Amino acid sequence: MYITRNLVTLNIYPANLFKPSPIQKNMKTTFSLIKADIGGWPGHSSVHPSLITLAAEGLKEATQKGLIKDFHVAHCGDDLELLMTHQKGEDNKEIHGLAWDIFTQGTKEAKKLGLYGAGQDLLKDAFSGNIRGMGPGVAEMEFTERKAEPIVAFMMDKTEPGAFNLPIFRMFADPFNTAGLVIDPSFHTGFLFEIWDIRDHKRVILESPQELYDILALIGAKSRFVIKRVYPKEDNPKLSKGEPAAVVSSEKLYQIAGEYVGKDDPVALVRAQSGLPALGEVLEAFAFPYLVSGWMRGSHNGPLMPVSQKNARCTRFDGPPRVLALGFQLHNARLTEPSDLFDDPAFDEVRHQAQLITDYMRRHGPFEPHRLPMEEMEYTTLPAIMKSLGNRFKPIK
């Protein structure tokens, strides 16, 4: 067991500091991943160790009181990530209130330290029973544990919820990524995709592979349509009906706040193996450094770089955008220590490609496609420039 004074030095926050009693059989487990930017160190690059320690102590106390079963604290870029297991279901007031209290206490500490953007993601003054719509990002799922339950927590920084569209699609619908779609009879018939229209606040459930082209038509417009959840089909013999295989946070901070307060820095939870894509198939979806929106000032396109926890800090042009993957085995609502899944030379070439793409995109300077198109720049100075020049524009004859 690691001792507390070594946690900050090693940047390791073990899930099993406390050993809760075994849960009752047949009770469902909820895995909640709730994150917020409550202060950057320095600038927008990382999270100060004091905030991580504060969060770990808060979750440790909640474990002792029996509110949660287990926990882990991490960071990706300047986002503080709270990973919690419990038996209270999704959208539980006590669990969301716990996260809100930790974020508000952390904001006070961030202000004392003079951290950048202290409390940036906390858009309300008081907790109202559910943390959704208040600024922090939330990905949580309730499910019946299998005999062995591998689960991966993905955390991104300097990008938006639609950044998960491509890898989630590849995991659950692309046979060139996931061989199991072809050769594993348990999920050969595919999956169900719950897709949200985050502009008009609607959702639709589409079936793969039957509606594959309709799915792609939507999720290719990643700034508007995002994959929220993936479900197994009813004929999957290894999973409980109606329980999700993957879930993605879908908050849009600039829409909630009415002004630009940063990109959304999404998170996701993905279950693996036994009727689902294998762990290697889940990770293979990140073997290409595809372009995402966000990066510097939330206004640029750049490559998504898979990184280890120690490199999950954004530096070059406040980036490039990063993704961190922590893998756990979940049993009786308890977590093993995390496996830092991108801390692997197998992803070195992906990171090298991301560096090359970074150089290429940066050479465009303020020009598209490095800079986002006008319709996604409404929170910058561009609308003011257009307004100030309005009378100087003349009709073209």
Provide the β-strand partners of residue 302. Answer: 292
Burial of 27 (0-12, 13-18, 19+ CB in 10 A): exposed
- The single residue of 2, 254, 260, 290 carrying the catalytic annotation is 260
What gap in Å lies between CA 131 and CA 129, rounded to an integer? 7
Residue 184's Cα: distance from chain center in Å? 28
Question: One-letter amino acid identity for 364?
Answer: H
Is 260 an annotated catalytic residue? yes
Q: Are 357 and 370 in contact (CB under 8 A)?
A: no
253-259: long-range contacts at Cβ-Cβ below 8 A with a sequence spacing of 24 or more?
A: 253/121, 253/123, 253/135, 254/298, 254/379, 255/198, 256/123, 256/133, 256/134, 256/135, 257/123, 257/135, 259/379
- The single residue of 158, 263, 264, 340 carrying the catalytic annotation is 263
123-128: long-range contacts at Cβ-Cβ below 8 A with a sequence spacing of 24 or more?
A: 123/253, 123/256, 123/257, 123/261, 127/96, 127/97, 127/100, 127/101
What gap in Å lies between CA 298 and CA 158, rounded to an integer? 7
- The single residue of 35, 37, 157, 231 carrying the catalytic annotation is 37
Is 228 an annotated catalytic residue? no
Is 263 an annotated catalytic residue? yes
**Helix, strand, or coil (residue 67):** coil
Token readout for 260 is 């630009």
Integer distance in angstroms from the first to the last C-alpha of the chain? 77
Question: Would you name the residues annotated as active-site residues?
Answer: 37, 260, 263
